[in-house]
C-alpha cells in the first residue's frame, strides 16, 4: 500500500490487487454524529443523502447511472465517527469513480426542493426505526449510557432537529467538513499505483483546502452507578440489552475484550461494512449455551466495534415467549460475573483467536472490503490499527482477557435496558 498526501491535505491510500479486473474507490470524511451539536443532530446523515442529489457537473438523475453503466455498485453510510461513499466497478471505470468523488467533495448543490424531499424521507426512516423495538432500545440505551460525550446522539438525529433544520444549516455543515484536508481517498484494485495517483491529482489537486474543523469534545466521565431504562410499548417480543463503557480501538483492553466477546457470543471480525452480515459461530459460545440452549432466549448477540473514542460493548438478547426479562437478565449477568471473576480458559483463548483470524480473512475477501478497512481505520486513528490487528490479537493472553473483563464488567459501568411489550390495544 502506498500512502500519499496531496498539497491540499487529501490523504490518498492506494493498494494494488490484481486478482480480478476490478477497482474500488472509497472517499472518507472525518465527520459523524459525534461532531454534531444540539439543534443539528442528524445533519451528518442528512448531508450524506444530499450528496447523492447531483452536482454542478452531474445531473441528479445521472449520479447513480454513471457507475451502473459499468455494471458496478455504489453506496455510502454515516456513523458516529465518519461518513463515507464508495463505488466498485471494472478498472476501466476508475476515472469516472474519481470524477464522481471529486464532484461530491467540492460541487454538491443542496437544492431547496431536494432538502425538503429528503426531510420527509429521513423522518420516515427515523419513525420506522422507532417502530423496531430492538433498534429503539439500542438508541435509548446509548442515550442513557452517555451523559456528556456526543456519542449519545443517534446517527439519524432527534425528530425536533430534523423538523427545524434549514438548507443553510446543511450546506454550511457540508462546506465545513467536506474539504480535502478532512478526507481520505482509498483505491484498491487492478490499478497501477503511479497512474492512479496521477488521476487523483488531476481530479482532486485543485480543490481548495478548508479550515481544519474544531474537534473539542467533552470526554465521558466515569460512570459511578448502574443505569436502567425500561420501554413499555405495544409489541410481541421482549428484548434485553446490557451496555458497558468499552475501550477505543487504540486502548490496550480493546483486543482482549474482542477475544472475550468471541468467547461469550462468537467471533465477528472488525468490518462494519460486512462482518455482521454473516452470523458468528455460536454453538459453543458461553452466552448461547446459558441463554439459548436453556430456552431463555431465542437469540443472543454481542457488539464491540473499533471507534475513535471509548464507546460501548453491548450484549443483546431476545427473550423467548413468556420468559420474564428478569430471568434473562439474571442468567446473562451471572455469566458475565463468572467471566469477570474466573476469566477464560486457554482452550477458549486458542479457539477465539482461530475464529477471529478466520473472520478477519473474510473482512478482506474483496477489493471493496479491503478498501473499506483501510479507510475506516485511517479515519478513526491510523491505517496501522488495521495492519497490526492480527499481531495484536495473537499477542493477547488469558490474563489480559481476565483483566479487561474485571475492568469493563463492573456493575457501576453498565446500563441495562428492557423492551417489555404491551399487548396490542
Q: Please name the helix (run of DSSP H) or strand (run of DSSP E) that holds residue 389, with its range, or none.
A: helix 389-394
Asked if residue 288 and residue 146 are part of one domain, the reply reads no
Asked if residue 236 and residue 194 are part of one domain, the reply reads no
Nearest to 231 by CA among 424, 417, 416, 425: 417
Query: What is the CA 205 to chain-centroid distance, rounded?
Result: 29
pLDDT-derived band at 64 (thresholds 50, 70, 90) equals confident
Asked if residue 374 and residue 233 are part of one domain, the reply reads yes
Residues 40-68, mean pLDDT to the nearest whole number: 93
- Domain end, chosen from 171, 204, 237, is at 204
79 pLDDT higher than 80: yes
What single DSSP character describes residue 18? Answer: -
Q: Note whether residue 219 is domain-resident.
A: no
Q: Which domain holds residue 311?
A: 227-419
Q: How far apart are CA 184 and CA 182, in angstroms?
A: 7
Residue 166: what pLDDT?
Answer: 98
Asked if residue 7 and residue 148 are part of one domain, the reply reads yes
Asked if residue 19 and residue 135 are part of one domain, the reply reads yes
pLDDT-derived band at 342 (thresholds 50, 70, 90) equals very high
233 pLDDT higher than 90: yes
pLDDT-derived band at 65 (thresholds 50, 70, 90) equals confident
Q: Note whether residue 412 is domain-resident.
A: yes
Q: Note whether residue 312 is domain-resident.
A: yes
Residue 425: what pLDDT?
Answer: 73
Asked if residue 265 and residue 312 are part of one domain, the reply reads yes
Tell which phi-psi region holds residue 194, choosing left (phi > 0), alpha (psi between -120 and 50) or beta: alpha
Residues 167-182, mean pLDDT to the nearest whole number: 98
Number of H helices, E strands in the chain: 16, 11
- pLDDT per position as a tens digit, 122-166: 999 999 998 999 999 999 999 999 999 999 999 999 999 999 999
Between β-strands 239-245 and 414-419, what pairing exists: parallel, antiparallel or unpaired? antiparallel
Residues 315-343, mean pLDDT to the nearest whole number: 97
28 pLDDT higher than 90: yes
85 pLDDT higher than 90: yes
Which pTM value belongs to this model?
0.96
Selected residue with higher pLDDT from 69 and 240? 240
Residue 217: what pLDDT?
Answer: 82
Asked if residue 246 and residue 105 are part of one domain, the reply reads no
- pLDDT per position as a tens digit, 363-404: 999 999 999 999 999 999 999 999 999 999 999 999 999 999
- Domain end, chosen from 204, 219, 243, is at 204
Asked if residue 264 and residue 146 are part of one domain, the reply reads no
Q: Note whether residue 425 is domain-resident.
A: no
Q: How far apart are CA 4 and CA 324, in angstroms?
A: 56
Residues 213-241, mean pLDDT to the nearest whole number: 94
416 pLDDT higher than 80: yes
Asked if residue 155 and residue 51 are part of one domain, the reply reads yes
Domain count of the fold of the chain: 2
276 pLDDT higher than 80: no
- The domain that holds 148 is classified in CATH as 3.30.830.10
pLDDT-derived band at 213 (thresholds 50, 70, 90) equals confident
Q: Note whether residue 220 is domain-resident.
A: no
Asked if residue 306 and residue 198 are part of one domain, the reply reads no
Residues 230-256, mean pLDDT to the nearest whole number: 97
Residue 310: what pLDDT?
Answer: 98
216 pLDDT higher than 80: no
Asked if residue 143 and residue 90 are part of one domain, the reply reads yes
Amino acid at each position: 500500500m502506498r500512502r500519499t498526501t496531496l498539497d491540499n491535505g487529501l490523504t490518498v491510500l492506494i493498494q494494488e490487487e490484481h486478482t480480478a479486473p476490478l477497482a474500488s474507490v472509497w472517499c472518507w470524511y472525518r465527520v459523524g454524529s459525534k461532531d454534531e451539536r444540539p439543534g443539528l443532530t442528524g445533519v451528518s446523515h442528512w448531508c450524506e443523502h444530499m450528496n447523492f442529489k447531483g452536482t454542478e457537473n452531474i445531473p441528479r438523475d445521472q449520479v447513480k447511472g454513471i457507475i451502473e453503466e459499468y455494471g458496478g455498485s455504489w453506496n455510502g453510510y454515516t456513523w458516529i465517527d465518519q461518513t463515507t461513499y464508495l463505488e466498485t466497478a471494472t478498472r476501466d471505470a476508475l476515472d469516472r469513480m474519481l470524477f464522481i468523488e471529486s464532484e461530491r467533495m467540492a460541487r454538491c448543490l443542496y437544492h431547496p426542493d431536494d432538502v425538503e424531499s429528503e426531510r420527509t424521507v429521513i423522518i420516515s426512516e427515523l419513525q420506522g426505526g422507532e417502530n423496531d423495538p430492538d433498534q429503539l432500545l439500542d438508541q435509548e440505551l446509548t442515550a442513557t449510557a452517555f451523559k456528556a460525550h456526543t456519542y449519545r446522539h443517534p446517527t439519524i438525529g432527534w425528530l425536533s432537529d430534523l423538523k427545524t433544520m434549514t438548507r443553510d444549516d446543511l450546506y454550511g455543515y457540508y462546506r465545513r467538513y467536506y474539504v480535502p484536508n478532512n478526507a481520505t481517498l482509498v483505491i484498491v484494485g487492478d490499478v497501477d499505483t503511479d497512474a492512479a495517483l496521477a488521476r487523483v491529482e488531476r481530479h482532486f489537486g485543485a480543490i481548495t483546502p478548508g479550515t481544519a474543523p474544531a474537534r473539542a469534545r467533552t470526554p465521558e466521565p466515569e460512570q459511578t452507578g448502574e443505569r436502567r431504562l425500561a420501554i413499555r410499548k405495544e409489541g410481541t417480543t421482549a428484548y434485553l440489552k446490557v451496555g458497558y463503557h468499552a475501550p477505543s480501538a487504540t486502548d490496550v483492553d480493546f483486543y482482549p475484550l474482542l477475544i472475550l466477546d468471541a468467547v461469550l457470543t462468537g467471533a465477528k471480525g472488525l468490518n462494519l461494512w460486512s462482518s455482521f452480515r454473516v452470523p458468528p459461530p455460536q454453538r459453543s459460545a458461553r452466552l448461547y449455551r446459558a441463554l439459548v440452549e436453556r430456552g431463555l432466549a431465542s437469540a443472543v448477540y454481542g457488539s464491540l466495534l473499533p471507534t475513535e473514542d471509548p464507546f460501548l460493548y453491548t450484549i443483546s438478547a431476545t427473550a423467548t415467549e413468556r420468559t420474564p426479562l428478569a430471568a434473562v437478565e439474571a442468567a446473562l449477568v451471572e455469566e458475565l460475573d463468572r467471566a469477570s471473576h474466573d476469566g477464560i480458559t486457554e482452550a477458549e483463548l486458542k479457539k477465539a483467536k482461530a475464529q477471529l483470524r478466520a473472520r478477519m480473512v473474510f473482512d478482506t475477501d474483496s477489493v471493496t472490503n479491503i478498501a473499506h478497512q483501510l479507510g475506516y481505520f485511517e479515519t478513526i486513528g491510523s491505517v496501522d490499527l488495521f495492519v497490526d490487528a492480527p499481531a495484536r490479537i495473537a499477542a493477547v493472553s488469558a490474563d489480559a482477557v481476565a483483566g479487561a473483563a474485571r475492568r469493563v464488567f463492573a456493575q457501576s459501568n453498565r446500563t441495562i435496558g428492557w423492551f417489555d411489550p404491551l399487548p396490542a390495544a
